[in-house]
Amino acid sequence: MLKIAIPGGKALNVSHLVLDCNGTIALDGGLIAGVAKRLAALAGDLEVHVLTADTFGSVEEQLTTIHCRLSIIPKEDQARAKKNYVQELGPDHCVCIGNGRNDHLMLRESALGIAVIQTEGAALASLTAADVISTSILDALDLLLHPLRLTATLRM
């Protein structure tokens, strides 16, 4: 579990990291360099979940070296599927990271939602649903590895 004190706000006690795949931890069907290393470092404190419709059909191969739960979601109504997944885990215990329009409900639902703006861009709905916006998945994951950065960003 990762515990993060937020001065003037609610303390975060999260045990799940829920990630979108394409556009978030992967680009054009390939894992972004540096992601695996950071996820391995976080795996001691957080259970890592990857949600995807597997657009490129290569997600299992990409994630072979990463200790995570992979969930292939239906191609239809992905936003609702992601939200339901977070609800089953317990939203108060989830950090979610995504970039697409289909990520906005899980970002809003979670204890901490982080939207990333990278090469693929980011949907406005996800940006407005997030608590934090980052310009890199590596920086977003580093926020969890160095929680005082989150404290500084989210303090009241």
Model confidence pLDDT, tens digit, residues 116-155: 999 999 999 999 999 999 999 999 999 999 999 999 999 9
Give pLDDT, residue 61: 85
Give pLDDT, residue 140: 98
Alpha carbon distances (Å) from 82 to 4, 13, 104, 121: 24, 20, 9, 19
State the Cα angle at 88 between 11 and 27, rounded to 5°: 85
**Cα-Cα-Cα-Cα dihedral of 51, 62, 137, 127, to 10°?**
-30
Alpha carbon distance 2, 130 (integer Å)? 19
Of the pLDDT bands very low, low, confident and very high (cuts 50, 70, 90), residue 27 is: very high
> Which neighbouring-strand residues pair with 13?
3
Q: Domain 2-154's class? A: alpha beta
Two tokens, residue 32 = 């972004």
